[in-house]
Chain A
Amino acid sequence: MKKKVLLMGASGSGKTSMRSLIFSNNPASLTSRLGATIDVEQNHVRFLGDLILNLWDCGGQDSFMDSYLTTQRPTIFQQVGVMIYVFDAESHEPIKDMEYYRDCLEGLRYFSPEAAIFILIHKMDLIREPQQLLDKRRQELQEVSGDVSIQLFGTTIFDQTLYKAWSSIVHTLIPNASILSKHLSIFAQACGATEVILFERTTFLVIATSSSGTGVASSAVPTYAKDGSDHQLEPTRYERTSELIKAFKYTCSRVREEFHTLELDLHDFSAVLDELTKNTYVLVILHDPTIETAAVKLNIRLARSKFETLQADSLN
């Protein structure tokens, strides 16, 4: 299955940086060395095995913006699954940014009315009053977007917020993620786990969790565990796990090693992070001190083939 993902926004807003951070395991510190994107850069990335994301990273210089909105209009806006519009939080031309956004929205409505729209207010690390700015932008953009529903995130390549936004984005591209969630929940119960989280292998984006009945990889509210206990866990844990493991994977690659598994036995909890299917990793969190990590590892091994099937189904 192939999905077209448009990455739009003014030149310099951070589109290519975030793409390289999420999809090719580059650290944030190297993004300043990226060259400017000329015109449109098309990339195919394989996600979850059978899902192919066709990423259109659109340059964003004025001249190109003008041509997207005129001659190239159908080419760009046809058959879009998701449009991600990136605003530089520190933009010096907010009015022009908004005009381009409005034009893109028009094109999308005409050629791909079903497309999901994500708006990222990016480079939030540069902003002193982040919440204030987000509220303001949200209001403005909702007004401009009218009855089109948008999802807005504040992001920066320097922390977990980018993973949170992108987990939500890819989530809209996995039609049956709720099946995975349901089975993760069953698996959590079988293991006596507080929580089980499924990550896509290369991006380490969250695909599904045992705690989200609806399958939405949302972490806005603190989650109460599935094991009947009253554990209340840190609300940003999913995206921060993505960020931490991704950074550690990069570290490993620097010493020509490859991150494979992790197990922890700490004061407050123990955890196992291991491959579940060819394209996913699973994180099992245990708060019950009587459960052995070795038993969890065995359970993971036993669940592999079942989840291979489920994962394939989740894309249909």
Chain B
Amino acid sequence: MTLADLPLGARAQVLALGGAGAERRRLLDLGILPGTVISVESRSPLGDPTAYRVRDTVIALRREQAARITVRSEI
């Protein structure tokens, strides 16, 4: 499953990052690496973007970005 599939409040561990070049780099710079634990904080009214908590900071990701992050749900 990907980060985009997670419901509000869920926690997951990153397994792999898709994408390439600057897009992938961007995710790494936001602290999203294999092994990182991410939780779903809130979703904007239209469902996109979604706010995630990553390493104690809340960051917003668009659905297409979240869909590139393969995760394993933790709870």
- Whether chains A and B associate is no
